[in-house]
Structures are given as structure tokens and as C-alpha cells.
């Protein structure tokens, strides 16, 4: 489980780095998919699921925000999406450091 926790930490770091180097955000989701099976049945699995869902929903909101730029509401959507991503990274990383799953009671 320590190995899975190490990789979950790496994924959170890659997601955070994604604000500066976009390709690391894509690398983060690839690593999360690759390491998720190793964490199956442990509390760390919830972190990989959280990270994967963060990627896909942020991609969705990013596309919607880009399209909505034509109506000027896109900026609001993109800013909200960025704040949501920061929230997800911080909450997940804090819970990981506390050896807790992202969801549920532990």
C-alpha cells in the first residue's frame, strides 16, 4: 500500500504541476489509470478514482468554457473550473497525507 500511496502523491504533484506545464496533467491521468489496479481494495484506490474523475470533469468544463468564450461566459466557466481543480487537488492530497480515503469515513 505504501507503493500505491507514493504513486498517488506523484499523481497529485503532476496535477498541480499541470497549471505550469500542461502535459504533466495528461501524464497524471495516465499514471493514475496505470496504478489504480495496484491499489484495488485499499483506501488509496479512492484517490486514483478521485484523480481520474478530476481529469475528465476538468476536460469537460475546459471544453465547455472554451466554447462559451463566444458569449463571454467562458471566462467564468474556466475560472470556476480552475478553482474546482485546485480544491480537488488540495482536498485529495491532504486526505492522502492523513492516510484517509477521499470519500467516506475512515
Distances (CA, A) of 87 to 49, 58, 74: 16, 12, 20
Q: What is the mean pLDDT of residues 49-61?
A: 96
* 89-105 residue pLDDT tens: 999 999 999 999 998 64
CB atoms closer than 10 angstroms to residue 86:
13
Q: Is residue 89 part of a domain?
A: yes
Write down the pLDDT at residue 106.
42
Q: What is the pTM of this model?
A: 0.91
Residue 1 pLDDT class (50, 70, 90 cuts): confident
Q: What share of the chain is helix, strand, coil (3-state, %, to 5)?
A: 80, 0, 20
pLDDT per residue as tens digits for the range 2-25: 899 999 999 999 999 999 999 999
Give domain status of residue 16, yes or no: yes
Total count of domains within the chain: 1
- For 42, the domain range is 2-97
Position 37 in a domain: yes
Amino acid at each position: 500500500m505504501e507503493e500505491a500511496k507514493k504513486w498517488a502523491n506523484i499523481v497529485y504533484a503532476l496535477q498541480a504541476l499541470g497549471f505550469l506545464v500542461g502535459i504533466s496533467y495528461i501524464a497524471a491521468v495516465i499514471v493514475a489509470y496505470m496504478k489504480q489496479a495496484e491499489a484495488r481494495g485499499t483506501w488509496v484506490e479512492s484517490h486514483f478514482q478521485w484523480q481520474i474523475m478530476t481529469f475528465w470533469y476538468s476536460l469537460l468544463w475546459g471544453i465547455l468554457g472554451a466554447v462559451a468564450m463566444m458569449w463571454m461566459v467562458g471566462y467564468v466557466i474556466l475560472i470556476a473550473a480552475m478553482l474546482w481543480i485546485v480544491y480537488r487537488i488540495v482536498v485529495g492530497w491532504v486526505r492522502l497525507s492523513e492516510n484517509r480515503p477521499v470519500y467516506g469515513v475512515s
